[in-house]
């Protein structure tokens, strides 16, 4: 079985503020295939369009151009029952583990509402069992969690409950928008481990959105690097992180503060990002790129360089015998 569960066809997003327009996301086409389950990272700095992409995939935001198809049907035109099915199967985990809880309810409430909504026929005991299973799947002891109030739990526990909430109704796709950026470094490992076990044990496809390539490298199978709404590089995670080809990806990877005394920051100095939005044609990274050349004024295409490794940079010659389709390279 290799049916695409979620397809993005030429999806782009334009935000208009008065007379100004900001291209938050330039046209992107790729599918999230149902099988085999994978974790795909979408990486980039603030303003790169990664959260816009997540909101479009979740159906929270309509694309300016293009279509999002869920099991072959346009998400914006789903009927009531179809939309419920989409909502059930495409779940989200957000950045802030503190903001999503209502402090007046026990955490059970957060877990129980989606079960009641999507599985109304379940008995109380069956609901409880589903909740316990979901909590165990993210590495929490149900007896320590159920019946507690949010303030009694740590940030790491709350974020894992958020993951449990998303999986309690057994979705096919999980969109995790910066799930660990507000959690202490020592607790991140637990949440990431929970994500990996979801892929292994429940076959959930995960879109992991982050600016932290260290954690991306540890959990994901493939990566899409965005800069100002355009894909700079994409492909197999180990290939992209271990031998980045695009100057922007190289900048991202060289900026990681590796917890390793042998691997210090290099001496390369990079230009600061412009405050103004760059409009018009040309490589988005032009103004900051250490290797820019006159030819970069033309927008570069995303082309294959190696098997499962694409980049959009003039420095590299495309390999004509390889597939340039983004989905095939993820």
Partner 1 sequence: MEHLLDITGLTVSYYTDIGRAIALNQVDLKLKQGEKLGLVGESGSGKSTMGLAMMRMIKPPGKVEGGSVVIGGVDMLQLSDKEMLKRRLSTISYIPQGAMNSLNPVLKIKRQMIDAYKAHYPNHKLDQILQLAHEAMISVELPGHVLEMHPHELSGGMKQRVCIAIGILLRPQIIIADEPTSALDVVTQRQVIETLNRVQQKIGSALILIGHDMGLMAQSMDKVAVMYAGEIVEINDVQTVFTSPKHPYTQALISSLPRLQNRGEFRGIPGMAPSLYRLPNGCRFHPRCNQQQPQCQTTSPPKSVFEDEKYVTCHLYEAS
Place of tokens 């760059």: 278
- Rank residues 89 and 250 by Cβ distance to partner 1 and give the closer one: 250
**Residues numbered 137-156 forming contacts with partner 1, rule: CB under 8 A:** 154-156
Site string for partner 1, 207-236 (x = CB under 8 A): ----xxxxx-xxx-----------------
**Nearest-angstrom CA–CA distance, 216 and 32:** 18
Contacts of 149 (CB under 8 A, 6+ apart): 103, 105, 106, 107
Residue 101 Cβ vs partner 1, minimum distance, rounded to whole Å: 17
Site string for partner 1, 178-207 (x = CB under 8 A): ------xxxxxxx-xx--x-----------
DSSP secondary structure letter of residue 106 = -
Residue 161 Cβ vs partner 1, minimum distance, rounded to whole Å: 14
**Residues numbered 56-115 forming contacts with partner 1, rule: CB under 8 A:** none
- Rank residues 68 and 191 by Cβ distance to partner 1 and give the closer one: 191
Question: What residues are paired with 23 via a beta bridge?
Answer: 14
Residue 184 Cβ vs partner 1, minimum distance, rounded to whole Å: 5
- Rank residues 70 and 217 by Cβ distance to partner 1 and give the closer one: 217
Helix, strand, coil % in the chain, rounded to nearest 5: 35, 25, 40
- Other C-beta atoms within 10 Å of 9: how many? 16
Residue 153 Cβ vs partner 1, minimum distance, rounded to whole Å: 9
Contacts of 78 (CB under 8 A, 6+ apart): 70, 86
**Nearest-angstrom CA–CA distance, 205 and 272:** 36
Residues near partner 1 (CB under 8 A) = 45-46, 154-157, 184-190, 192-193, 196, 211-215, 217-219, 238, 242, 251-252, 255-261, 263-265, 270, 272-273, 275
């Amino acid at each position: 079985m290799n049916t695409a569960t979620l397809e993005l066809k030429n999806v782009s997003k334009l935000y208009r503020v008065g007379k100004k327009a900001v291209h938050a996301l330039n046209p992107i086409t790729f599918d999230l295939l149902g099988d085999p389950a994978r974790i795909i990272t979408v990486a980039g700095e603030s303003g790169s369009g990664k959260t816009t992409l997540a909101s479009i995939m979740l159906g929270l935001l309509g694309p300016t151009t293009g279509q999002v198809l869920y099991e072959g049907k346009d998400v914006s035109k789903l009927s009531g029952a179809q939309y419920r099915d989409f909502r059930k199967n495409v779940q989200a985990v957000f950045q802030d583990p503190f903001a999503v809880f209502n402090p007046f309810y026990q955490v059970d409430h957060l877990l129980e509402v989606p079960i009641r909504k999507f599985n109304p026929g379940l008995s109380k005991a069956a609901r409880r069992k589903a909740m316990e299973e979901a909590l165990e799947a993210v590495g929490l002891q149900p007896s320590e969690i159920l019946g507690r109030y949010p303030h009694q739990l740590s940030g790491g526990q709350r974020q894992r409950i958020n993951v449990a909430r998303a999986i309690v109704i057994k979705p096919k796709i999980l969109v995790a928008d910066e799930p660990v950026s507000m959690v202490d470094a020592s607790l991140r490992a637990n949440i990431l481990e929970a994500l990996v076990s979801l892929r292994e044990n429940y076959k959930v496809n995960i879109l992991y959105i982050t600016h932290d390539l260290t954690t991306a490298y540890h959990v994901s199978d493939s990566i899409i690097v965005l800069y100002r709404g355009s894909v700079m590089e994409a492909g197999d995670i180990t290939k992209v992180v271990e031998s980045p080809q695009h100057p922007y990806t190289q900048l991202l990877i060289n900026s990681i503060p590796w917890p390793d005394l042998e691997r210090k920051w290099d001496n390369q100095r990079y230009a600061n990002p412009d405050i103004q939005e760059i409009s018009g044609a040309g490589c988005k990274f032009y103004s900051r790129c250490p290797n820019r050349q006159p030819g970069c004024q033309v927008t570069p295409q995303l082309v294959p360089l190696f098997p499962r490794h694409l980049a959009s940079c003039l420095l590299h010659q495309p390999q004509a015998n390889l597939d340039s389709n983004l989905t095939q390279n993820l």
